[in-house]
Amino acid sequence: MAQADLMDFDKALELYEPVLGFEVHVELNTATKMFCSCANEFGQGANTNTCPTCLGLPGGLPQVNRKAIESSIRLGLALDCTIAESSRFARKNYFYPDTAKNFQTSQYDEPIAFDGALTIELAGGRQVRVEIERAHMEEDAGKLTHKGGATGRIQGADYSLVDYNRGGVPLVEIVTRMIEGGEADSPEIARTYVAAIREIVKALGVSNARMEEGNVRCDANVSLRPRGSQILGTRTETKNVNSLRSVERAVRHEIQRQAALLAAGGTITQETRHWHEDTGTTSAGRPKSDADDYRYFPEPDLVPVAPSREWVEELRSTLPEPPAARRKRLQGDWGFADLEFQDVVNSDLLDAVEGTVAAGASAQSARKWWTGEIARLANAAGTPAESLVAPAQVAALITLIDDGTLTDRLARQVLEGVIAGEGTPAEVVDKRGLAVVSDDGALVAAIDEALAAQPDVLAKIRDGKVQAAGAVIGAVMKAMRGQADAARVRELVLERAGSAQ
């Protein structure tokens, strides 16, 4: 694809004011789909989780998942939205092979949640209030695979295959109002906003929130308005940007691309655009046109959702502490420096450290182990750190270090054993015989032997040259194959040297 001309970012900002908007789709982690009792999981064989309803067979009818409604209300509340007294599903009519009924059941003029806001904090400390227009419920489409052609993309494919396992999976679509005044921070706002949504749905437990698996997907709207103008520019909608980094890059790219086009006297086409991770560019998709007539009307197969205020309040009482507030509290509690804390947050280890501290470890030790050795092993294994070992086990490990049973070096071996499934840290210590040798008798024998073998050193120690003890300590540690506490060895060496006659 031809590389579009881009304007320098700073130059673009001099000439134009970016206006942003986001539509984030969150896939809920309910057990079943939105409108049928098929399992909400689609890693299995194609078309295994389908029924007359989600396959759109003649005669199929939808039944609303209560848990999905609850999750949506909780998400709405977490976004400070008003929960509708009465909301309704509608049909959005359009033909597409991944949409089994050829309409998407979605909420239109009566969303379950509306008029919310979320304040995000940029790295430099700037606070940006993002207003939420609505959060509405809808269903996901099936999955298409394009065959033939060179790229595996839809363009140039000979035919396509459809798997409806994902069809009918519950989604909440969160729509912001226009975000103005983002200026040069706009790309970072995009990234931070999506990260904040991700963090919230994860804290609520309503979504698995893995962007790489499409649990959270962002459509980014960008338009530019010339400095001094009140008139909004034409916007483009970059669809399905599926990582935080890409969201940031896509917004930056659209600002630079649109600026170049406008400055050259061109016009922006209102269209959807596709994001290409590999090239870091967007390309034109389908133009929005008058032909987009979705013929929305209330879904006649479903009845209104009218959550009682009691139910809403009950759900409100289940909300977790807002992630931003929680971060502030934890950093204070733990006394971490900004960099230390950022390290934990960026590694997605807040829960892990918190759990480890709750299980009795000191915050610094917990941080050190999680962001150090455990993160290294997780990285090597290509899995999230939290999936390797439970916080309680890490806390137990730290306790063994603190009480002198293990040295750091031994603790690393114990950790490997725990990860390998050999049991709790205490059990691994037992099985592998890794404990620090604390039997002074064995140490004393080794020390006496070492002192006898190095009479010159002994003499020096007796002369008060304490640093000479290092040679004996080294020999003893070697003899004990590292399974001794160096501090204790030093103590005993000095003691034995004093009493050796």
Partner 1 sequence: MPEITAEQVAHLAHLARIDLSPQEIARLTADLGQIVDSVAKVSEVATPDVPATSHPVPLANVFRDDVVTPSLTVEQALSGAPERDGDKFRVPAILDED
Partner 2 sequence: MTDLIHLSAATLAGLLADGSVSSVEATRAHLDHIDAVDTDVHAFLHVATDAALAAAAAIDARRAGGESLAPLAGVPIAIKDVLATADMPSTAGSRILEGWIPPYDATVVRKLREAGLVPLGKTNMDEFAMGSSTEHSAYGPTRNPWDLGRIPGGSGGGSAAAVSAFEAPLALGSDTGGSIRQPAAVTGSVGVKPTYGGVSRYGAIALASSLDQVGPVSRSVLDAAMLHDVIGGHDPLDATSLPDIWPSMTEAARAGLADGALRGVKVGVIKELNGDGFQSGVKQRFDEALAILAGAGAEISEVSAPNFEYAVSAYYLILPAEASSNLARFDSVRFGMRVNPGSGPLTSERVMAATRDAGFGPEVKRRIILGTYALSAGYYDAYYGSAQKVRTLIQRDFDAAFSKVDVLVSPSAPTTAFKFGEKLADPMAMYLNDITTIPANLAGVPGMGLPIGLAPEDGLPVGLQVMAPARQDARLYTFGAALEKLLEAKWGHTLLSEAPPLTPTEMFATKEGAV
Is residue 463 within the footprint of partner 1 (CB under 8 A)? no
Q: What is the CA radius of gyration of the chain?
A: 30
With a CB cutoff of 8 Å and minimum separation 6, the contacts of 379 are none
> Any contact of residue 27 with Mg ion (CB under 5 A)?
no
Task: Indicate which of partner 1, Zn ion, Mg ion, none lies near residue 155 (CB less than 5 to 8 Å, by partner kind).
Answer: partner 1
Alpha-carbon distance of 13 to 8, in angstroms, equals 9
What is the closest distance, in whole angstroms, from the C-beta atom of residue 288 to Mg ion in the complex?
14
Question: Which CB, 57 or 284, lies closer to partner 2?
Answer: 57
Cα separation of 142 and 49, whole Å? 11
Decide if residue 38 touches Zn ion (CB under 5 A). Answer: yes
> Which partner, partner 2, partner 1, Zn ion, none, binds residue 456 by CB below 5 to 8 Å per kind?
none
Closest contact distance (angstroms) between CB of 177 and Mg ion is: 16
Indicate the Cα dihedral angle 154, 156, 157, 162, nearest 10°.
Answer: 20
When asked if residue 129 is in the footprint of partner 1 (CB under 8 A), the reply is no
| Cβ-contact 9, 252 below 8 angstroms | yes
Q: Which stretch binds partner 1 (CB under 8 A): 113-121, 226-234, 290-298, 404-412?
A: 290-298
Residue 122 binds which entry of Mg ion, partner 1, partner 2, none, with Cβ cut-offs from 5 to 8 Å by kind?
none
Q: Return the residue of 20, 24, 28, 36 that touches Zn ion, per CB under 5 A.
A: 36
Binder of residue 287, out of Mg ion, Zn ion, partner 2, none (CB less than 5 to 8 A by kind): none
Site string for Mg ion, 160-199 (x = CB under 5 A): -------------x--------------------------
Minimum Å gap between C-beta 100 and partner 2 is 7
- 39 lies in the binding site for Zn ion (CB under 5 A): no
**Is-contact 9 263, C-beta < 8 A?**
no
- HSE at residue 63, side-chain half, CA atoms within 13 A, is 7
- Is the Cα torsion angle 403, 409, 410, 412 positive or negative in sign? positive
Q: Which does 123 bind (CB under 5 to 8 A by kind): partner 1, partner 2, Zn ion, none?
A: none
Contact 242, 214 (CB under 8 A): yes
Query: By CB under 8 A, is residue 236 in contact with partner 1?
Result: no
Beta pairing, strands 271-276 & 236-241: parallel
Cβ(112)–Cβ(84) under 8 Å? Answer: yes
Question: Which DSSP string do the residues of 195-208 spell out, in sequence order?
Answer: HHHHHHHHHHTS--
Reading the block at residue 239, the tokens are 């669809």
Decide: helix, strand or coil at residue 214: coil
The candidate with the shortest Cα–Cα distance to 77, out of 117, 42, 49, 111, is 117
Site for partner 1 in 85-114 (CB under 8 A): 86, 94-97
Residue whose C-beta lies closest to Mg ion = 173
- Residue numbers of the site for Mg ion (CB under 5 A)? 173
- Residue numbers of the site for partner 1 (CB under 8 A)? 30-32, 37-39, 45-52, 55, 57, 63-69, 86, 94-97, 144-148, 154-155, 157-164, 272, 285-286, 291, 293, 295, 298, 300, 302-307
- Residue numbers of the site for Zn ion (CB under 5 A)? 36, 38, 51, 53-54
